Amino acid sequence: MTSQTYRKPVRKAVFPVAGLGTRFLPATKAIPKEMLPIIDRPLIQYAVDEAREAGIDQFIFVTGRGKTSIVEHFDTAYELETTMSERGKSLEVLEPTRVSPGNLLTVRQQVPMGLGHAIWCARAIVGDEPFAIFLPDELMIGSPGCMKQMVEAYEEVGGNLISVLEVPHDQVSSYGVIAPGAKLDALGGALTEVTGLVEKPKVEDAPSNLIISGRYILQPEVMRTLEGQEKGAGGEIQLTDAMARMIGQQPFHAVTFAGRRYDCGSKVGFVEATLALALEREDMATEVRDIASRLLK
């Protein structure tokens, strides 16, 4: 394949949202964890907004049982909108929740076999196009957003890209970790060649402290790699293992995200994100700061 083959525009995004959210029970017994709000927007909304900013217009949700409310969130709420209009209330707040018909598609992951398997479930919709992946648990806050930064990098080098962040070395065992190669001058040095990937390595075996941070742009060939992928760490089909097999066959780079990441898959990270974003909002920052100060005393 030519280098131009690896530069097709990224128009599709896959959102693996089939997880059970057990760390947030009992809140997630009947509500998908992706619908838990950071202030007044559910996590999935932040991810979709980030995708739109990057020019992505087709959203593929890999769902499971009990996840219908995620799709309904992006549907037209006729009764709600009619009632609001009759009462003279603006519908502007609902504008981000509207997705054009045909641009939101769902596929079921019937058995929880890991992230790699969830992505593979979307293979028929992805087809032969490059695609983005968003893990909604990872709330990425930046200007521009993480995926827009990645698309800008993709336009420079094409191929496969992953977003990375630097963490303390003793924390690497919780993440996928890259083996970094040469740094590129493009984008202010934020681009690094990837020479290897390891999923949740032991601290002493980690090739770096640069972790994969929940955003990817991958070429469609990864689906064929996942087809025969054996189970890896945790007894699951790991996306990291499939990507590692593609290194050397296609261009592979990491983009160091210029922004903040909040791990909203953990309770502490969820609270941190809520507090941090509340302190940045003009409509509540002063009150929230006063509340925090009072509680800290």
- Containing structural domain, residue 106: 8-265
What pLDDT score does 130 carry?
94
Q: Tell me, yes or no, whether 157 and 281 share the same domain.
A: no
> How many separate domains does the chain show?
2
Q: Tell me, yes or no, whether 271 and 260 share the same domain.
A: no
What pLDDT score does 89 carry?
93
Q: How many CB atoms lie within 10 A of CB 214?
A: 24
Q: What is the pTM of this model?
A: 0.91
Q: Tell me, yes or no, whether 171 and 153 share the same domain.
A: yes
Question: 2 lies in a domain?
Answer: no
Contact (Cβ atoms closer than 8 angstroms) between residue 135 and residue 114: no
Q: Tell me, yes or no, whether 218 and 281 share the same domain.
A: no
What pLDDT score does 196 carry?
87
Please report which helix (H) or strand (E) contains residue 195, including its range.
strand 191-199
Contact (Cβ atoms closer than 8 angstroms) between residue 151 and residue 10: yes
- State the CATH number of the domain containing residue 228: 3.90.550.10
Helix axes 267-278, 285-296, angle to 10 degrees: 130
Q: Tell me, yes or no, whether 275 and 194 share the same domain.
A: no
What pLDDT score does 1 carry?
46
What pLDDT score does 23 carry?
92
What residues of the chain score a pLDDT lower than 70?
1-5, 185-189, 229-235
What pLDDT score does 154 carry?
92
3-state secondary structure 126-158: HCCCCEEEECCCEEEECCCCHHHHHHHHHHHHC
Strands 58-63 and 12-16: parallel
Question: 1 lies in a domain?
Answer: no
Please report which helix (H) or strand (E) contains residue 84, including its range.
helix 78-86
What pLDDT score does 2 carry?
46
Largest CA distance in the chain: 63
Q: Tell me, yes or no, whether 255 and 276 share the same domain.
A: no
Q: Tell me, yes or no, whether 99 and 207 share the same domain.
A: yes
Q: Tell me, yes or no, whether 271 and 142 share the same domain.
A: no
Q: Tell me, yes or no, whether 172 and 285 share the same domain.
A: no
d(CA 71, CA 106): 8
3-state class of 281 per DSSP? coil
Instruction: Write the burial class of residue 197 (CB in 10 Å: 0-12 exposed, 13-18 middle, 19+ buried).
Output: buried
Q: What is the pLDDT of residues 46-92, one digit of tens each?
A: 999 999 999 999 999 999 888 889 999 999 888 999 999 999 999 99
Question: 63 lies in a domain?
Answer: yes
Q: Tell me, yes or no, whether 211 and 290 share the same domain.
A: no
Q: Tell me, yes or no, whether 272 and 258 share the same domain.
A: no
Q: Which residues contact 48 (CB under 8 A, 6 or more apart)?
A: 15, 59, 74, 96, 99
What pLDDT score does 229 carry?
63
Question: 285 lies in a domain?
Answer: yes
Q: Tell me, yes or no, whether 177 and 56 share the same domain.
A: yes
